[in-house]
Structure 1
Amino acid sequence: MPKSTIRKKKVYTPPAEVRPASDATRRKPSPPWLPVSAVCMIVFGIAWLVVFYITTGDYPVAAWGYWNLVIGFGAMVSSLAVLSRWR
């Protein structure tokens, strides 16, 4: 049986009047303090956890107990939220 011809559809490109402006031209670069603050938050979180584990819970705040883990990991997670804004 003979093979039928394959029809290719043309790729649709909207007119220039309808097309949105390029995203690269609209985006502003991130401020220089943003990656610095994110790295500081990561270092703070790691340092908090290291001090908590080395001192077996006596420092940074002994009364908080295992909430010190929440503070350390929370600082690192919040740095990820800050880094998601980095362009």
Structure 2
Amino acid sequence: MPESKSRRRPAKGPAQTPSTKAQQPNAVWFVPVMVSLMLLGLAWIITYYISDGAFPIPNIHNWNIGIGFAIALAGFMMTTRWRS
């Protein structure tokens, strides 16, 4: 039985790299700031509840909870950009 001719395969070139910049690890300050924001937001809310609304800012009442959540949310949003 006759054999078929083999096909030429294209030469393998360099591996294709994505057009975006290679992802590098975060700066050394990134993780401490991220954790600090999460803890500061938690401490803000706990302080508001323990002081029965007298602290951290007494005149804005329940907006203290929103501020605490916003600070903590900023820390949690930083976790999406965290690279080791």
State how far apart, in whole Å, the 1-side matches of 2:61 and 2:69 are.
Answer: 14
1:1-87 matches, within 5 Å, as: 16=13, 19-21=16-18, 26-87=22-83
State how far apart, in whole Å, the 2-side matches of 1:73 and 1:58 are.
Answer: 18
**Partner SS for 1:58:** coil
Q: Give the superposed CA RMSD.
A: 2.1
The Cα of 1:85 is off from its aligned counterpart by: 1.2
Q: Is the 8 A contact 1:45 1:73 kept in 2?
A: yes
The count of corresponding residues between Structure 1 and Structure 2 is: 71
Q: After the TM superposition, which parts of structure 1 deviate over 3 Å for at least 4 consecutive aligned residues?
A: 15-18
Q: Which runs of 5+ in 2 are unaligned?
A: 1-11
* Identical pairs, percent: 25
Q: Is the 8 A contact 1:34 1:83 kept in 2?
A: no
Q: Which runs of 5+ in 1 are unaligned?
A: 1-14
**Partner SS for 1:26:** coil
State how far apart, in whole Å, the 1-side matches of 2:68 and 2:41 are.
Answer: 4
The Cα of 1:20 is off from its aligned counterpart by: 2.3
